[in-house]
Chain A
Amino acid sequence: MKQYEIRDPVYGFITFNDWEKCIIDHPVFQRLRRIKQLALTEMVYPGAVHTRFEHSLGVMHLATMRYDSIVNNNKRMLEDHLSYNDIGLKKDRQLIRLAALLHDVGHAPFSHASEDILPTNPKRNKPYKHEDYTTTIIKNLLKNVIEAHPINKRNCRIEAEEVAALIEGNTEVIGESIFWRVLISSQLDADRGDYLLRDSYHIGVKYGVYDNSRLMNTLALGIDPETDEVILGVSRDGWHVAEAVVIARYQMFAQVYFHKTRRAFDYHLRNAMKKTLNGEKLPGIESIEEFLSLDDYAMWGRFLNQKDDHDCLSIINRNHIREVYSTPEVPNQEDETELREMKSHLEKSGLWFHEDKSERLWYKLGNSKNGDREIMIISGDEKNARPLSHFSSIVKNMGEVKQIRIYVRPEDRIRAKEVLN
């Protein structure tokens, strides 16, 4: 089977077969070249101009490496508890590669920054998630390129529906293979495993760098004592690298994803996009072609044509709202009382303000799409699981970040500071 390889700044080379190449070459995947991984983070860190395209290739590569390591080190457990044989393991390896490759294919322009303007899903009466677009694209637009390739027909017979099911968690379609969703979305998944390393590389920080080789070698399966389910964890020898991953995530959150200026641009971006879209919302999944016609480039074109709008101008001229107050990262009741007082002062002064909560951020440490179960440490022949916080006093003492910030218009900054002091 012919293999292709391309250069990657994080892993050196990423390889893929002809079937995967056809998927990568599809226009809906190529669109990811035009969606930046970190939206307008480049306003703070100029190197943050990498795209969902290279991240998606990286996730496929890393998911495969982690899968191979888990299978090599835990084959007996996979056979005994999840009824795997070699054929099943080979098929699921390919299924995971495809799901990892395509997990972000339904991203809106500017990645997560635009998720607040996705329309309401009439079936659930809740806003769509980017995963809804991803699975719609896989099941419809990518169905043929996934199912019809000779490599698939001869070797795997994977259906587009199965790839989507692994991403959306539909056990009716993929049954016990749902187990591998932990490689797509969890504390030990390939998605965050890649973006921590890749974002750090491009931005020029070291906060997200962890010992990926060591983590890979120490991935282990264990048994959850509350449910007797098989769980993915890290062997006892590797608990320090598990701790390093948790710290890396916290540091990247604090220093990059929740950076006060970056968040200010998320605010302007959301407003600017609203004003350039019909009904102030992105198209729904029933208008998938229209949705796919929108990328960062298309939105920039719209912003440049709306120079009378202050949010578009804020982005074009890099003149953003300014933070004038913030709570501690883990606020207590007294902090909440003080926050209310600060808002009351601003209201009485007639100053406009914007309140930003870390819990509204996709990258926040406890985001459901990230499957943030505490990393479990696996010990002994019995494969007993214990939480990482049992070993690491650092992890034990880390709190859920619920910081809240108040921003005002740039011209009001000095007055607001006076009001709040």
Chain B
Amino acid sequence: MSGDLNHDESIFKSSGMIGYLVKRLSEEYPGKQVGKTIIQKIMYLLTRNNIARFDFSMYHYGPYSSELSGELSFAEKNGIVKITWKDNEGYFIEPTTDADRFVALLDGDERQAVDEAVTQFGKFTAKDLSLIATALYLKDNFGVEDSKLAEAVHNAKKSYSPDYISKVLKAGKILPN
């Protein structure tokens, strides 16, 4: 008789998902900086859809998951992604040739969900994704209504005007056009 944990899920599953996300972003948007902020915010969106399973907390820079940060480091140590730092620009995360071995741990639905997230959100900058993820966190966790979302995000990020935030939220289909 075995214990009380799911024995079948590989400890590399989440790293495989990160590897696939990085790979798809680099394929769809060649030359774009894929940093830790972009990975954090898109993974937050995937977690909302129950595709990824990370726990997020809210900070002034938006929803953030240390579990995901640790998983990213684990993925790097196992050669699934390569992470470099450039002064004044930030992190650059790239896929490796080894990533495919781990991506095989994802099922078809999971890959499709990552593909859709890349299509819908991959075009945004890290700053705009941070606005989108903040809005959704406020909506999900504190019941902020759509009509007040842009103002609520502005309240936390005064350097962005409510109009600009509203425009980004509409572009991300978080608010209706």
Contacts and interface: CB of A to CB of B under 8 A. Distances in A.
A171 interface: yes
B57 A185 contact: yes
Contact of B91 (A226, A343, A367): A226
Interface in B60-81: 60-61, 64-71, 73-74, 77-78
Contacts of B51: none
A387 interface: yes
Contacts of A359: 67
Contacts of B4: 354
A384 interface: yes
A175 to B, nearest CB: 4
Given A224-B61, A355-B5, A170 B142 contact: yes
Given A336-B11, A373-B64, A400-B77, A178 B126 contact: no
B99 to A, nearest CB: 13
Interface string B40-70: 0000000000000011111111001111111
B122 to A, nearest CB: 16
B144 interface: yes
Given A176-B158, A225-B88, A384-B87, A170 B67 contact: no
Contacts, number: 165
Interface residues of A, number: 61
Interface stretch (A67-75, A95-103, A227-235, A297-305): A227-235
Interface in A186-226: 186, 224-226
Given A181-B59, A181-B60, A372-B69, A355 B156 contact: no
B127 A178 contact: no
A369 B91 CA distance: 23
Given A366-B71, A367-B67, A399-B73, A169 B57 contact: yes
B127 A228 contact: yes
A355 B7 contact: yes
A182 interface: yes
B155 interface: yes
A291 interface: no
Band of interface residues on B? 35 or more
A202 B59 CA distance: 32
Interface string A405-420: 0010000000000000
Contact of B57 (A83, A330, A369, A384): A369
A281 interface: no
B3 to A, nearest CB: 4
A278 B7 CA distance: 28
A386 interface: yes
Interface in A314-367: 330-333, 336, 340, 343, 346-347, 350, 352-355, 357, 359-360, 364-367
Interface of B: 1-5, 7, 10-12, 33, 35-37, 54-61, 64-71, 73-74, 77-78, 85, 87-91, 101, 126-127, 130, 134, 137-138, 140-142, 144, 148, 152-153, 155-159
